Structure formats: C-alpha cells, structure tokens
Amino acid sequence: MHDPNEPFENTRPLDVLAIAAHPDDVEQTCGGTLIRMAEMGYRTGILDLTAGDMGSRGTPELRIKESKNAAEHLLVAWRQNLRWPDARLENTITARMTLAGVVRRLRPHVLILPYWAGRHPDHYRASEIGYEASFLAGLTRLEEDTPPHRPFKILYSSVYANVTPSFVVDISRQFERRMAALLSYASQYGDSDEASDLFPSHQEIQERLAAIARFYGNLIGAKYGEPFSLKECIQIDDIVSMPIRSI
C-alpha cells in the first residue's frame, strides 16, 4: 500500500477523498464504502480536519496514531490531519483557502463530505468548508503553483441524518473490516472507566453500528449498507437494468 502519510505535494491524484471533522468520523460513516472502492482498484484518501483534542478521552497525538492504524484497515492510499482546533471549526477565508490548496494538490474525482446539517457544529462546518473550498479550488487565479481542480461529484454521508438517502452502498463484505478500523481507536472505544457515562461500551458500539448498517442495508436488500445524499439528480439511461425491486 502507498504510504498514507505522504505529504500533500507528493501524492498522486485521488479517485475518492473523504473529508471529516475528527479522527474516527469516516470509520463510522463511510469507511465501508472507502474499503469497497479500494478493493475495486480506486485510489482513496482521508483528510481529518482536527485531531479531536477537545474529546473526553485520549490525546491528539494518540488519536492521530490510532487513525494511521485505522487507515491500514480502510486500505486508503493517503491520510493526513490538518490539526485545526477541535470544537472550534470556523468557515473562514483562511480555512477555505487552505483546504482549496489541498484539493488542488490531491485532485480528487469524488469528494465525500459530512451531511450538511447535524448535532455537532464541527460536522456541518466541515461540510460547508469542504464544499466552498472545492469551488475555490477551481478558480484559475487562486494560486499560481497548482492548476485549478474541482471534484466531479460531491457526496454527503447521511448515516446520522434523519433523511431518506439518495442511494445506499452495499458494504456487506466490507463491514467487518470497517469495524476493525473503528476499533483501532482504543482510546475512544475500548472499555474504560474514563468518561464511561458518555461513551458506550465496546460491545454496545459494535451492536449499535451493526444495527444502523443493517437498517440501511435492508433498504437495498443487502445485509449492511452506508447511505449517501446528493444535492443534484442522478442520470439513468437504462430504466430496464435499474437495480432494487419496487414491489
């Protein structure tokens, strides 16, 4: 596997890039999809905006280390952390310009962002910054040392949003590997007395995520699934070969 810690400047273009607010967000929301895409031969990557330094458990250094272990399970070709302030993400021009520069260097074809509404401000701020930075990244005069680039498709991981997804990816074969990636964060999901009133047990988190994935999998007749939302329509050219029965 390619070194997931390779600097922005040296990496080859990515087919799929997932941007998340915190380490372990991707593992909970679209990790199975990243695994499936990597198994299909696509080059995938993850950009975590913060190291979760305001979390009740673990340290930023530990969580970044755990994210590198998780990256191996996710089969990603590249993963980095911008170390922006946790719980204090702001959609500023500085943030947008910085992320636009990253997008121009990584040149992803598909960008996965958190859903645009949610409980945690960092999540919907990450979505806002990611979208607006991607627009800026396509401006020719943004900077001189990198060519303009915009992702062709932006997907929003909607697993924790109470919305009907635009589509669901079958991750039945990838689910156990996705869980292994999540459980790489022993500081967050290992059984511990620290902040035990806020964190579910190791067994409980497995059962919860399995139940959620089973729900979305059931929508498409699969065992496990991950949901996504789009802001635009999808073109269908052959209505006879469309998957999923209506009745």
**Mean pLDDT of each 10-residue bin along the chain, 247 residues long:** 54 94 96 98 98 82 95 98 96 97 97 96 97 98 91 97 97 98 87 57 88 98 98 95 91
- The CATH number given to whatever domain includes residue 183 is 3.40.50.10320
- What residue has token string 């991981």? 157
> What is residue 1's predicted lDDT score, i.e. its pLDDT?
41
The kind and range of the H/E element at 128 are: helix 121-137
Structural domain including 194 reads 8-241
Residue 102 located in a structural domain: yes
Residue 54 located in a structural domain: yes
> What is residue 2's predicted lDDT score, i.e. its pLDDT?
45
Is 165 exposed, middle or buried, given 0-12, 13-18 or 19+ CB atoms closer than 10 A? buried
The rounded distance, in Å, linking the Cα atoms of 247 and 244 is 9
Residue 1 located in a structural domain: no
Q: What is the pTM of this model?
A: 0.93
Query: What's the structural domain count of the chain?
Result: 1
Residue 17 located in a structural domain: yes
The rounded distance, in Å, linking the Cα atoms of 126 and 54 is 16
- What residue has token string 């996504």? 228
CA 171 to centroid of chain Cα atoms? 15
Residue 173 located in a structural domain: yes
Tell me which amino acid residue 3 is: D
Between vectors from CA 38 to CA 175 and to CA 20, what angle results, nearest 5°?
Answer: 75
* Tokens encoding 32: 């199975």
Residue 237 located in a structural domain: yes
Residue 107 located in a structural domain: yes
